[in-house]
Amino acid sequence: MGLFTAACAAYASLAAWLWLTLAQGMFWRTDVRLPPRTAPAHWPSVAIVVPARDEAEVLPRSLPSLLAQDYPGEAEVILVDDGSTDGTGGLALRLAAGQPGLPLTVVSPGDPAPGWTGKLWALRHGISLARTAHATEPDFLLLTDADIAHEPDSLRELVAAATSADLDLVSQMARLRVAGFWERLVVPAFVYFFAQLYPFRRINRPSARTAAAAGGCVLLRTGAAVRAGIPDSIRQAVIDDVSLARAVHRSGGRIWLGLAERVDSVRPYPALADLWRMVSRSAYAQLRHQPLLLAGTVAGLVLVYLVPPAALLTGLATGHPAVAWAGGLAWLLMAGTYLPMLRYYRQPAVLAPLLPLTALLYLLMTVDSAVQHYRGRGASWKGRTYARPSDA
């Protein structure tokens, strides 16, 4: 890049990082955990609804953790087999057979109706069953994915947090698996980028203007779900967790979102291709399938994440210290704000300076998501491809 262009880009990137670090809700902090809580005088009833499609690989590590919940009140597990071809439903019944713990019901709703995503169709069936199977409907619904494992006190702590703070929705971002090289490089950044878009502290303010949730673990008051029309009001949503939280927020519900201590994802992503599919299947949907938003996102990723190392190297190579200092400081702020997330995932600090490389991968995944969308293969997951909402 030319020197003048490099200088302008370096200063703009540094300004962006100063703003992100100081004014974006302290997104980089990882101490947003469940709020202070005490045990309620009477433990409310809970129905745990688990949508599952072809989850036989992970179910033995997740479902037993739900059945073994140490919860003082009434609770049950409803697993909704969403057209699985790998025996997910039968495996669930075998895992529960003869094992003490919460009662399990396995149901299958059939193929999604037009205009519904598979997961939300499954949730619709599970929530309906939870509300009608007994004389009284449950006080809370725990919506959790089939690849999420819970510590034995997870449900108890979630309910205590909701009742103590009078919250309608409590969501924890499950700690994703980080084992192989690509998981170490990509996964912590996934949560870091999410928190940058939806700063937890800002989301959790009573006066918040926006809302978000992490779909792997959402505790929702049944009354709040009814007021928000969940899931019918968001039936076309591919980014269902954020859409769910926004629907609850619009209906007057109080929301809390933070990082998990007792909730973990057990789904492996051993290869870059696995992580690529995870991100690209919904990245363009997050941008509402808008080419201008895609262009702005690409430009933003380049300015914020790729310019700093490029400016540092350019400044050093051309003997212009101001450009090098601006790029270097921006890169330092980037790496420094990433360190808390790496510590949360118990990863070495040496990965922090590699965030520009990870951001480049996410940029390419986002562009690929748009390309796949226009080829008719966008928002594809486990054999299903979803149209944009306006086309559904």
For every residue of 32-72, DSSP letters joined together read --PPP----SSPPPEEEEEEESS-TTTHHHHHHHHHT---S
| pLDDT, position 238 | 86
Residues 87, 173 contacting (CB under 8 angstroms): no
d(C-alpha 53, C-alpha 88), whole Å = 7
Query: pLDDT-based confidence at 192, cuts 50/70/90?
Result: very high
Residues 265, 176 contacting (CB under 8 angstroms): yes
Write out the two tokens for 375. Answer: 């080829």
Query: pLDDT-based confidence at 392, cuts 50/70/90?
Result: very low
Residues 49, 80 contacting (CB under 8 angstroms): yes
**Quick one: average pLDDT of 248-277?**
96
Region of residue 87 (left: phi > 0; alpha: psi -120 to 50; beta: else): left
**Quick one: average pLDDT of 44-66?**
97
209 to 93, 205, 212, 275: CA distances (angstroms): 43, 9, 11, 31
- How many Å separate Cα 278 from the centre of its chain? 11
Length of the chain: 392
pLDDT at 103 over 80: yes
**Quick one: average pLDDT of 283-298?**
93
Give Cβ neighbours of residue 246 (< 8 Å, ≥ 6 apart). 210, 211, 212
pLDDT in tens, 211-227: 999 989 999 999 999 99
pLDDT in tens, 3-20: 788 899 999 999 999 999
Q: For residue 224, what is the enclosing H or E element?
A: helix 222-228
pLDDT in tens, 318-344: 999 999 999 999 999 999 999 999 999
| pLDDT, position 376 | 79
Residues 215, 117 contacting (CB under 8 angstroms): no
Please count the CA atoms within 13 angstroms of the CA of 127 that sit on its side-chain side. 24
**Quick one: average pLDDT of 24-39?**
96
d(C-alpha 203, C-alpha 255), whole Å = 7
pLDDT at 242 over 70: yes
| pLDDT, position 385 | 60
pTM across the whole model? 0.94
